[in-house]
Amino acid sequence: MDNLGIARVFTDIGDLLEIKDANPFKVRAYRNAADIVGHMAERIADLTDAEVRALPGIGKDLSAKIRELSDTGALAYYDELRQEFPPTILDLLRLQGVGPKTVAVLYAERGIATLDDLETAATEGRLRTLKGMGPKKERLLLRALAEHRTRVGRHLIGHADDVATRVIDYLRADATDTTIVAVGSLRRGCETCGDIDLLAIGTNDQLMSRFTSFPGVERVLGQGPTKSSVLLQGDVQADLRLVPDESAGAATQYFTGSKAHNIAVRDLALQRGLRLNEYGLFRVADDHPVAGASEAEIYAALGLAYVPPELRENRGEIRAAADGALPRLIERTDLKGDLHSHTTATDGHADVETMARAARDTGLEYLAITDHSQALAMANGLDEHRALAHARHIREVSARLDGITLLAGIECDIRPDGTLDLAEDCLAELDLVIASVHSAFGQAEAQMTDRILRAIASPVVDVVGHPTGRLLLRRDPYKLDIEQVLDAAARAGVAMEINSQVDRLDLSDIHARLARARGVKLVISTDAHAPAGFDLLRWGVMVARRAWAEPDDVLNTRPLEAFQASLRRHRKGASAT
DNA sequence: GCCGTTTTCGGCCCGACTGTTTTCAGTCG
């Protein structure tokens, strides 16, 4: 079993123990272990017992369980726990506002073990008589259920990409003559994917049977000579298509989509007396093939510049491609720095120097260390005194490291009333201030909007962090008048973050494009909590590309000095010093 | 369950919000 699989088991155990009302520190130990294993760069199965044992938070018991899982793929203790509750009970925990205590009561008092059970009971008003519940709670539960339903069957792009990579590597190992690529929403960089679409180019007749015997396959949904579908562990569906070399470009284009983009492109082809399908571009009159081997060839034959996959949503890209007006999209290598990261000073997993070295190893020239402020007590947030001491430490480390410069920043909470969590004179001492909302998500739209507007109005704020607070597939964004916020940010010269965590991607592509249109500058940051976190920049870049962003739209494409000069605090007329 | 010992047991980040209460329990971050 791989790291993510082990992490998932430990997370489940933590949840089940919590439902059992076990020692909370034991629960935390399992969650902590899940976090560590899930974020490790190297395969934990490759480490020696002593090395596993040496990881912070992994002791005798957990290291043995890790070994059992990585060797056998199963864990007796986990199986015992699952005997005590129906496995579906963990689905209930995914609902907003439902925690372990509620799940325990629902199961013990009403025998509720599935989402359907819960919906029936809530609809029939059978929950309001439970202690601690009332009609209002019933309504909240029904709303949480409805929100949850819109999310099932979808997967975070980071997760889908992991799975796709594993399948592709497995197929390639045995089919070195065949090109295999991910297409569909994954290639377009959509924030979530319904299923994984893979395309193989060649004539390998063993490929389909090898695909359906991939070790992660739970069920074969269909298998033919050119098309197969499987259901993988974790409820991910994967489809594989096989096409001959001469159709490579046409098939890649066709299966990449989006549907709306393809319809528009085919329509354009018809206007020119051409027909486009997954096999190629043909003259309508005599079926003569015009193009098909590469995507670029097809777009060119239609009088279009090559359209990057991230833009293929029929949102103006075809007109722009015809006019030669497509943007020069930002690329990962354009980024010179990362502006959001955490260390062990608060809730990160590595110290300042370790994070700095990891950032440098991924090719970054500067890194802002931005630990939490005091309001996030759970994360051991910094008060003014600790924030300034931490800044001194960050600058010391920066001075002795070659190849990377550290900025002493902070991710400062925006309190419910819109005031900042740390005093302005303290924040003014720092190199970068990200202002973020981490509490009172339920505020009314006007209140939340005013709250963020007030933060933007503060002269010491440089960036608004994860501006809408959404957690993909888990929590909707808080209610917010985003256009009012963007207008204020444009006036104040405050940048908006694209947070690269795969469950945030916040701003979204849509909002980031709105921001660009208003002249609001973007930053792309990882919010890394561990050294491996810097790899996530690719997802933030993907969102920016889907927002049509060019390098100049994103402040951290600039070399350090130019970046610092662009911060409002250093601009002429800024009141902070 | 981990850790660090004052070496074998006690401590392990907490504060705000909500819906239910009438002083609190549960959830969230």
CATH number at residue A212: 3.30.460.10
- Is residue A140 in some structural domain? yes
Cβ contact A370:A434 at 8 Å: yes
CA/C1' separation A132–B21 (Å): 8
Q: Using the CB atom, is residue A475 less than 7 Å from strand B? A: yes
- Is residue A256 in some structural domain? no
β-sheet with A236-243: strand ranges across: A179-183, A196-201, A236-243, A227-232, A217-223
pLDDT, one tens digit per residue, over A245-269 is: 888 999 999 999 888 888 889 888 9
Do A267 and A358 belong to one domain? no
Do A392 and A518 belong to one domain? yes
Do A539 and A413 belong to one domain? yes
pLDDT reported for residue A468: 93
- Is residue A172 in some structural domain? yes
Query: What is the per-residue burial (b if ≥16 Cβ within 10 Å, else e) of A534-544?
Result: bebbbbbbbbb
CA/C1' separation A368–B10 (Å): 39
Do A57 and A39 belong to one domain? yes
Do A311 and A428 belong to one domain? no
Q: Which domain holds residue A201?
A: 155-243
**Identity of the amino acid at A307:** V
pLDDT, one tens digit per residue, over A401-453 is: 999 999 999 999 999 999 999 999 999 999 999 999 999 888 888 999 999 99
Q: Using the CB atom, is residue A5 less than 7 Å from strand B? A: no
CA/C1' separation A100–B27 (Å): 9
Do A443 and A484 belong to one domain? yes
For A418, residues 6+ apart whose C-beta sits below 8 A from its C-beta are: A450, A451, A452, A453, A454, A455
The bases of strand B with some atom under 7 A from any protein CB are 1-3, 11-21, 25-29
Q: Using the CB atom, is residue A273 less than 7 Å from strand B? A: no
Do A265 and A358 belong to one domain? no
Do A445 and A563 belong to one domain? yes
Taking CA A561 as the corner, what is the angle to CA A560 and CA A566, rounded to the nearest 5 degrees?
100
Do A122 and A197 belong to one domain? no
Q: Using the CB atom, is residue A59 less than 7 Å from strand B? A: yes
Taking CA A520 as the corner, what is the angle to CA A514 and CA A521, rounded to the nearest 5 degrees?
120
- Is residue A366 in some structural domain? yes
Q: A3: closest CA among A47, A38, A32?
A: A38
Cβ contact A486:A515 at 8 Å: yes
- Is residue A254 in some structural domain? no
How many domains does the structure of chain A reveal?
4
Q: A512: closest CA among A549, A550, A559?
A: A549
Q: Using the CB atom, is residue A246 less than 7 Å from strand B? A: no
Out of A210, A243, A276, pick the residue that ends a domain. Answer: A243
- Is residue A255 in some structural domain? no
**CATH code, domain with A128:** 1.10.150.110
Do A169 and A311 belong to one domain? no
**CATH code, domain with A401:** 3.20.20.140
- Is residue A577 in some structural domain? no
CA/C1' separation A114–B10 (Å): 39
Q: Using the CB atom, is residue A61 less than 7 Å from strand B? A: yes
CA dist., res. A429 & res. A433, Å (int) = 10
Q: What sign has the CA pseudo-torsion A312, A314, A317, A322? A: positive
Between the alpha carbon of residue A282 and those of residues A162, A255, A262, the distances in Å are 36, 18, 15
Do A394 and A317 belong to one domain? no
- Is residue A248 in some structural domain? no
Give the closest nucleotide to A53 (alpha carbon vs C1'): B2
Out of A274, A306, A323, pick the residue that ends a domain. Answer: A323
Give the closest nucleotide to A140 (alpha carbon vs C1'): B19
- Judge whether residue A575 has pLDDT over 60: no
pLDDT, one tens digit per residue, over A25-70 is: 898 889 888 888 877 767 888 889 888 998 888 999 999 999 999 9
Do A66 and A187 belong to one domain? no
What's the mean pLDDT in A312-331?
92
**CATH code, domain with A319:** 3.30.210.10
pLDDT, one tens digit per residue, over A474-527 is: 887 888 999 999 999 999 999 999 999 999 999 999 899 999 999 999 999 999
Closest residue, CA to C1' of B25 = A132
Cβ contact A463:A496 at 8 Å: yes
Out of A187, A213, A243, pick the residue that ends a domain. Answer: A243
pTM over 0.85: no
pLDDT reported for residue A421: 94
CA dist., res. A80 & res. A510, Å (int) = 46
For A72, residues 6+ apart whose C-beta sits below 8 A from its C-beta are: none
pLDDT reported for residue A574: 45
